[in-house]
Amino acid sequence: MASPTPTTPPRLMDRVRQACRLRHFSRRTEEAYCHWIRRFIVFHGKRHPGDLGEEAIVAFLSSLATVRAVSASTQNQARSAILFLYESVLRRTVQNLPGLERPTEPARLPVVLSRDEVRRLLSAMDGTAKLVAMLLYGAGLRLTEALELRVKDIDIDRSQIVVRQGKGRKDRQTMLPASVAPLLQQHLARVRAVHESDVKNGLGHVVLPDGLAAKFKGASTSWAWQFVFPAARLCTDPRTGNKTRFHLHDTAIQRAVTEAVRAAGITKRASCHTLRHSFATHLLEDGYDIRTVQELLGHADVSTTMIYTHVLNRGGMGVRSPADRL
């Protein structure tokens, strides 16, 4: 009787990815955790983490703060990734991290553009990047939420957008601006033509969430599940091996917004997320209830939305300066 062929144990990074997927982590979280775990391994001369202890973790995280001068949020993300590696993959309990305190991120007021600055920024953009930016400002979407929209999530007749699996894996509804609807319809017509051409060539598969490809046969090539903002180039899905057209990469939009900020002569440190901040602030300036704004933004707690009351167009904390009475 032939002896069974010994199976090769999975590599460490494959185990990390498997553990992330078992817990339904987002693709971004999985990529971030893998990035920091690789950095940790390289930092210690490519030694296996199983041979390292708490002192090695402290040394790596301390170097991020003292040598690399990363922000508190970045250091906390790296810490979470390394602890996940030890506790969920290597099944080792990290007792303590001597001399290392969890850093806290200082509270910062959001950068908000005036209505004129938003108008100038959008005027300096064109094409798909402008359409995405109009949704960030007009619907209060995060950049990843806009790029991950599927065709089925857009309801032009009811002027609404359904955000699926947003921050905290929560769904919510927000408005579809009337000024964006006709542009979006034209954009979708072009995207559909590309998709139908892909299907004719035996392609047209799209990445589906949570194993829906096995549950709904043919869903991966259906028009309803396609990304609203697909990439121009095909790529290979590492999970299925299928040739797919993933959504636009966030750096493409970030770069376009940065260039538009410069071209518009805006001196504020504005980014894609600044458009979302401006959406919330301008709604409050127009007199909309803060609870309504909270729902549109998808904030779990109204205290998060309250930050925008500090940047309303009424001076510092809404107080009139005594100099204006002179």
Q: What residues are annotated to the active site? A: 142, 167, 273, 276, 299, 308
β-bridge partners, 244: 205, 235
Whether the Cβ atoms of residue 154 and residue 171 lie closer than 8 Å to each other: no
Q: What is the helix (H) or strand (E) element at residue 155, kind and residue range?
A: strand 154-155
Whether the Cβ atoms of residue 156 and residue 162 lie closer than 8 Å to each other: no
Residue 108: name the closest of 156, 150, 145, 71 by CA: 71
Counts for the chain of helices (H) and strands (E), in that order: 13, 5
Strand-strand pairing, 235-236 and 172-175: unpaired
Q: Which residue carries 């703060």 as its tokens?
A: 65
DSSP output for 221-240 = GSGGGSBSSB-SS-EE-TTT
> Residue 267: exposed, middle, or buried by beta-carbon count in 10 A (0-12, 13-18, 19+)?
exposed
Q: Which residue carries 């099944």 as its tokens?
A: 91
